[in-house]
Amino acid sequence: MTKRRLLLVGFATCLLGIVVLFPARVAYRWFAPASLVLSGISGSIWRGTAAAGMVSNVYVRNLTWRFKPGRLPRGEVAYAVEALPAGGFLDGRIGINFGGSLMLSQLRVSLPLSMLDTATGISGLRGTANASLDQMTLSGGLPVSADGSVDVAGLVLPIVAPEPLGNFRAEFQTGADGNIVANVQDTQAVIDIAGRLLLRSDRAYEFLGRIAATDDTPESVRKQLQFLGSPNERGQYELRLEGQL
């Protein structure tokens, strides 16, 4: 083998080693967005860990990632991810496609709602959210497709009542028209509620449902329901919300 060929082989081997073993802490310093803050980083960009971090103001610990090369032919750079948010857990696949959209799949998440009170603007929000998402695509920070379910247990909305309202479930589905539809209902709550949330591709949303008091409904909640207008013959009030995200 000639000297030139030996140099080329050596250079290629060195380059391959750099790519395969590219330190995660270096990649973090170079490429991490401002919304991602990690500490205790070890491993490579292909497989590694971080002791703790903040992801869009959500604290997590024991974060691990593993590169999923099988998603590359679909135009997606994806990782299998596990983490422990405070009082919860997260595991699934998270990736970014070549168009810049965030792709979530096979995702299982449990979070205390108190972690989201700042993001939602609802002071005193309490309860636990358990999400099971087959897939969700986010573009510009907003969902453009979603299939899965979210269960909320022990929901507390101080603007409605200081007592827990109970448990609720939303099942999401992406229609052929590109709109996201969610069927919402109570599963064990002090109120009866059933409705349909529609999130259109133009980012307009609409919720239309019916809500009624039960024998377990606190008097403070009954008074709040009266602001919705007059009930029908079954004691149900119409609840309609709409706007733009």
174 located within any domain: yes
Residue pair 49/63 in contact (Cβ under 8 Å)? The answer is yes
- Is 48 among the domain residues? no
Asked whether residue 203 carries a pLDDT value surpassing 60, the answer given is: yes
The model's confidence at residue 17, banded by pLDDT at 50, 70 and 90, is very low
Confidence (pLDDT) at 30: 64
Query: Can you tell me the distance from the alpha carbon of 110 to that of 165, in angstroms, rounded to the nearest whole number?
Result: 19
- d(Cα 95, Cα 13) in Å, to the nearest integer? 28
Of 58-72, 148-162, 186-200, which has the strongest mean pLDDT? Answer: 186-200
Contact 96, 74 (CB under 8 A): no
| Residue 217 belongs to some domain of the structure | yes
pTM of the model: 0.81
Q: State how far the Cα of 132 lies from the Cα of 37, in Å rounded to an integer.
A: 25
Is 39 among the domain residues?
Answer: no
CA–CA separation, 211 and 192 (whole Å): 6
Query: Please, are residues 45 and 21 in contact by the beta-carbon 8 Å criterion?
Result: no
Distance of CA 34 to the CA centre of its chain: 18
- In terms of residue numbers, what domain contains 153? 138-245
Query: Which residue has better confidence, 226 or 17?
Result: 226
Structural domains in the chain (count):
1
At residue 32, φ and ψ (nearest 5 deg) are -65, 135
